[in-house]
């Protein structure tokens, strides 16, 4: 087991399921102290308010000898972005990385998707990354170090039945480039992963 993240503090949004969960547990296995940030909602709608999903991952990490705390907040709000960063600072005294994996989708074509569904998907993906990155930057700039990682998707190639999701994931690329150019001078790295999978 690698310990290359020993002593580091990492926030993972969407950390209770899917890719986020895998990142959270892998970071803990590598020695990081992890904030499992997850609002507890289903992937196909923006509803939640429960920390049960995040608590489950925290329990798994601590049972394996790691350190983790849950943050069941809505990162599509500025308060939510600040809250996940504060959770790291309050619990671990530092913030070294934020991995933005939170996301929802609406499996609908352009002519079927409702305005609120569009707004919810765009908010969780794009505003969620913005809210967390802005809050993290205010901690990372003074310390002259840190890492931001955003997740896009192969769906950005124009997958037709996830209109809002594909749009949000394409937007994340622009956000990544802009953020990387802005924060690089402060010793902060910004990257975007674009996984693609079929089931």
| Tokens 């790295």 -> residue | 189
Among the listed residues 117, 165, 166, 172, the single catalytic one is 165
Residues 154, 158, 160: CA angle, nearest 5 degrees? 115
Burial class (CB in 10 A: 0-12, 13-18, 19+), 142: exposed
Helix (H) or strand (E) holding 146: strand 146-151
Encoding tokens for residue 160? 């037709």
Helix (H, G, I), strand (E, B), or coil: what is residue 10? strand
Burial class (CB in 10 A: 0-12, 13-18, 19+), 192: buried
d(C-alpha 142, C-alpha 128), whole Å:
23
Known catalytic membership, residue 39: no
* Active site residue ranges: 165
């Amino acid at each position: 087991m690698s310990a290359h993240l020993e002593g580091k503090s990492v926030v993972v949004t969407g950390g209770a399921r899917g890719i986020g969960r895998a990142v959270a547990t892998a970071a803990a296995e590598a020695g990081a102290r992890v904030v499992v940030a997850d609002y507890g909602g289903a992937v196909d709608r923006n509803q939640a308010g429960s920390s049960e999903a995040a608590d489950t991952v925290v329990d798994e990490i601590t049972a394996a000898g790691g350190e983790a705390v849950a943050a069941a907040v809505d990162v599509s709000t500025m308060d939510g972005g600040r809250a996940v960063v504060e959770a790291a600072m309050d619990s671990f005294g530092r913030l070294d990385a934020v991995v933005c994996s939170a996301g929802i989708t609406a499996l609908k074509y352009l002519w079927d998707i409702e305005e609120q569904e569009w707004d919810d998907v765009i908010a969780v993906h794009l505003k969620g990354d913005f809210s967390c990155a802005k809050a993290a930057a205010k901690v990372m700039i003074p310390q002259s170090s840190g890492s931001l990682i955003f997740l896009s998707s192969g769906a950005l190639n124009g997958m037709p039945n996830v209109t809002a999701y594909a749009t949000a994931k394409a937007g994340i690329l622009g956000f990544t480039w802009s953020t990387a150019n802005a924060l690089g001078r402060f010793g902060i790295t910004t990257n975007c992963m674009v996984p693609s999978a079929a089931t």
